[in-house]
């Protein structure tokens, strides 16, 4: 047997042995899943079907092409005395290899175009939700319902990220994929979703819905969804948006229409209760306790749980001119942010009590001990 043929057979043998060993030793093929998520919406089903159709077309093309190549390699070897044909032009062959790809593209383009058109049909929606991306959280505004809230990384995951907990990632269910306030949507309802951003480009992506949309400052993208099955569907920001890009998950909770209406009433009541009491005097202990929670949710990602910040990136609050200086300046920067930096304006994000609590906490935590107590009525008057 000639050396080239021996080498070829040895290579094929090694490939077969390697693949067979994978079949034997791999404990769970689910760990090797590579296909798309089929999803729970009509659009996700269309996208999945389109993907599978194109995949099988590619498989057939690959089989034909590589089979032809393999056959040619084996039967036209030099050691078999094969002599290359000499020709310069074949009109029939050129027409054939032009017509076949065009036909394949047409077969792919027709269903692809139908799917793209269907994805843009956002009219006649029953519910419209505006989603705004921030560094690093999501704001959900249920338009027409007077309901707006923020959704951030769940506290147990945040504690592991900030190293304020002894827990390990594997000890936490849905690590980095859980939030404090999931977005709740009714099933069997056409929902229009608007996406934008307040600072940098983000992207709202839940695989089970079958699409993702960029959230761009000063621009609104729209899409729609129609969830057919109740359940919890998780996603993430899919655009590199800064330091905590990996820490702004998305959780969609799909419920029945009756459960959705109940949730609306309860959530509005909960938000109203959280804002009540702004017209009374709060004690230092009350504001410190509330401020610590608000700080961990909104500020710890940049300034760190210990207030020491990240040198050269985010300033420390420990003994800082802002946290120990004039209280009016502290209130101003928390409420209005700071242009040209990542410091967001929290005046529109937090209620009077939370702003008062967070400022009080920052001025009296980590050894600052300024002693200032900022009342919610002061924030109310500042507005």
- In which element (H, E) is residue 225 found? strand 221-225
Say if residue 232 is in the same domain as residue 292.
no
Distances in Å between the Cα of 23 and the Cα atoms of 12, 18, 20, 31, 59 are 17, 9, 5, 13, 21
Sequential pLDDT tens for the chain (383 residues): 555 555 556 666 656 555 555 544 444 445 566 788 889 999 999 999 999 999 999 999 999 999 999 998 888 887 777 787 777 778 888 899 899 999 999 999 999 999 999 999 999 999 999 999 998 899 999 999 989 999 999 988 988 888 877 888 888 899 999 999 999 999 999 999 999 998 899 999 999 999 999 999 999 999 999 999 999 999 999 999 888 899 999 999 999 999 999 999 999 999 888 888 888 899 999 999 999 989 988 888 888 888 888 888 888 999 888 888 889 989 999 998 887 777 888 888 888 999 999 999 999 998 888 778 889 898 888 87
Provide the domain limits for residue 132: 127-275
Q: Percent helix, strand and coil across the chain, each rounded to 5?
A: 45, 15, 35
Task: Give yes or no: residues 115 and 139 share one domain.
Answer: no
- Residue 57, pLDDT score: 92
Tokens representing residue 318 in the block: 């420990």
Same domain, 135 and 270: yes
Q: Render 146-165 in DSSP notation, one character per residue.
A: TEEEEE-B-HHHHHHHTT-S
Q: Are residues 222 and 337 in the same domain?
A: no
Q: In the prediction, which pLDDT does 229 show?
A: 93
Helix (H) or strand (E) holding 106: helix 91-119
111, 225: one domain: no
Given this model, what pLDDT does residue 25 score? 46
The CA-atom distances, in angstroms, between 359 and each of 298, 323, 325 are 12, 8, 12
Contacts of 334 (CB under 8 A, 6+ apart): 346, 347, 355, 358, 359
Residue 252 bridge partners (DSSP)? 183, 233
The number of domains in the chain is 3
Pair 39, 56 in one domain: yes
In a domain, 360, yes or no: yes
Counting Cα atoms < 13 Å in the Cβ hemisphere of 273 gives 6
What pLDDT score does 67 carry? 94
pLDDT of residue 81: 78
Question: How many of the other CB atoms lie within 10 Å of CB of 315?
Answer: 18
Same domain, 162 and 218: yes
Distance from C-alpha of 150 to C-alpha of 366, rounded to nearest angstrom: 27
**Strand order through the sheet with 137-142:** 147-151, 137-142, 127-134, 191-197, 221-225
How is residue 217 annotated by DSSP? Answer: B
The pLDDT value recorded for residue 44 is 94
Distance, in Å, from the CA atom of 164 to the CA atom of 142, rounded to the nearest integer, reads 34
pLDDT at 37: 82
Same domain, 61 and 200: no
**Per-residue model confidence (pLDDT) at position 296:** 87
Q: What is the CA radius of gyration of the chain?
A: 29
How many Å apart are CA 360 and CA 340, to the nearest integer?
25
Domain of residue 242, CATH code: 2.60.40.420
Query: Is the same domain home to 288 and 309?
Result: yes
Q: Is the dihedral of CA 45, 48, 54, 59 positive or negative?
A: negative
Task: Annotate 139-167 with b (16+ C-beta within 10 A) or e (fewer).
Answer: bbbbeeeeeebbbbbbebbbbbbeeebee
CATH number of the domain that residue 75 is part of: 1.10.287.90
The phi and psi torsions of 60 (rounded to 5 degrees) equal -65, -45
- Residue 216 and residue 309 share a domain: no
Record the pTM: 0.79
Residue 296 phi/psi, 5-degree rounding, is -65, -35
Closest CA to 250 of 329, 330, 310, 195: 195
**pLDDT for residue 344:** 81
C-alpha 210/C-alpha 51 separation (Å) is: 11
Distances (CA, A) of 290 to 21, 356, 361: 58, 10, 8
Q: Among 248, 275, 302, give the residue marking a domain's end.
A: 275
Other C-beta atoms closer than 10 Å to the C-beta of 176 total 18
Residue 13 falls inside a structural domain: no
């Amino acid at each position: 047997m000639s050396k080239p043929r021996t080498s070829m057979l040895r290579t094929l043998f090694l490939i077969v042995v390697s693949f067979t060993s994978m079949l034997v030793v791999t404990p769970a093929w689910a760990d090797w899943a590579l296909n798309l998520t089929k999803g729970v919406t009509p659009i996700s089903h269309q996208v999945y079907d389109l993907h599978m159709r194109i995949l099988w077309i590619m498989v057939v093309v690959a089989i034909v092409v590589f089979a032809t190549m393999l056959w040619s390699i084996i039967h036209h070897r030099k050691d078999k005395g094969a002599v290359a044909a000499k020709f310069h032009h074949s009109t029939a062959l050129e027409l054939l290899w032009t017509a076949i790809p065009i036909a394949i593209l047409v077969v792919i383009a027709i269903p692809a175009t139908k799917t793209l058109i269907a994805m843009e049909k956002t009219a006649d929606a029953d519910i419209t939700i505006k989603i705004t991306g921030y560094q690093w959280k999501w704001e959900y505004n249920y338009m027409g319902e007077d309901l707006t809230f923020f959704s951030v990384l769940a506290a147990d995951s945040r504690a592991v990220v900030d190293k304020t907990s002894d827990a390990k990632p594997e000890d936490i269910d849905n690590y980095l994929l859980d939030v404090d306030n999931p977005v709740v949507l009714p099933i069997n309802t056409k929902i229009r979703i608007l996406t934008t951003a307040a600072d940098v480009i983000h992207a709202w992506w839940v695989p089970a819905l079958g699409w993702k949309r960029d959230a761009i400052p000063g621009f609104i993208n729209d899409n729609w969804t129609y969830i057919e099955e109740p359940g919890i569907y998780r996603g993430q920001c899919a655009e590199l948006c800064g330091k905590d890009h990996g820490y702004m998950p998305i959780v969609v909770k799909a419920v029945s229409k009756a459960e959705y209406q109940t949730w609306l009433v309860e959530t509005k009541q909960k938000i109203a209760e959280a804002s009540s009491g702004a017209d009374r005097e709060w004690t230092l202990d009350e504001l410190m306790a509330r401020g610590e929670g608000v700080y961990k949710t909104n500020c710890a990602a940049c300034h760190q749980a210990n207030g020491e910040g990240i040198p050269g990136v985010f300033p420390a609050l420990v003994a800082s001119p802002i946290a120990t200086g004039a209280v009016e300046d502290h209130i101003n920067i928390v409420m209005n942010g700071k242009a040209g930096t990542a410091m967001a304006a929290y005046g529109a994000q937090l209620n009077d009590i939370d702003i008062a609590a967070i400022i009080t906490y920052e001025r009296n935590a980590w050894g600052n001990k300024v002693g200032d107590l900022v009342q919610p009525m002061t924030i109310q008057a500042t507005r």
